[in-house]
Amino acid sequence: QSALTQPASVSGSPGQSITISCTGTSSDVGGYNYVSWYQQHPGKAPKLMIYEVSNRPSGVSHRFSGSKSGNTASLTISGLQAEDEADYYCSSYTRRKTLVFGGGTKLTVL
């Protein structure tokens, strides 16, 4: 199972909005509304930010939102803050009844 494709890095200034893409195939991202997004700060465990494409867990800021179009899912962070600087990973359920992660995107807040 090939990893989902994410940009290696994105950056933005405080207050701006950024979007991280996650591209798969019709066998994973495009075939199911089971895309999730995780935030990971250095040396810390991942934290769930978005599940089932666009749902936000309790306690996650409204500045984080998710969407999907075809085989590509997206995570948008609005009103960037310094604390958002982290690695972000997407994940999808697949037709083979497995899960697959993206390669990860390093977000830098300038």
Partner 1 sequence: EVQLLESGGGLVQPGGSLRLSCAASGFTFSSYAMTWVRQAPGKGLEWVSTLNNDGGSTYYADSVKGRFTISRDNSKNTLYLQMNSLRADDTALYYCAKAGGGWSYSDYWGQGTLVTVSS
List contacts with partner 1 (CB under 8 A).
Answer: 1, 3, 32, 34, 36, 38, 40, 45-48, 51-52, 57, 87, 89, 91-93, 97-104
Q: Kindly state the smallest distance separating residue 3's Cβ from partner 1, in Å.
A: 7
State the Cα–Cα distance between residues 50 and 1, nearest whole angstrom.
22
CB of 109 vs partner 1, minimal distance in Å: 20
Give whichever of 13 and 97 is closer to partner 1, judged by the CB atom: 97
Distance between CA 67 and CA 104 in Å, rounded? Answer: 17
Q: Is 45 or 82 the residue whose CB approaches partner 1 more closely?
A: 45
Beta carbon nearer to partner 1, 16 or 74? 74
**Tokens for 30?**
């495009």
Please answer whether residues 92 and 32 qualify as being in contact, where contact means their C-beta atoms are separated by less than 8 angstroms: yes
Smallest separation, CB 59 to partner 1 (Å) = 10
Q: What does 40-55 look like in DSSP terms, one character per residue?
A: E-TTS--EEEEBTTTB
Is the separation of the CB atoms in 56 and 49 below 8 Å? yes
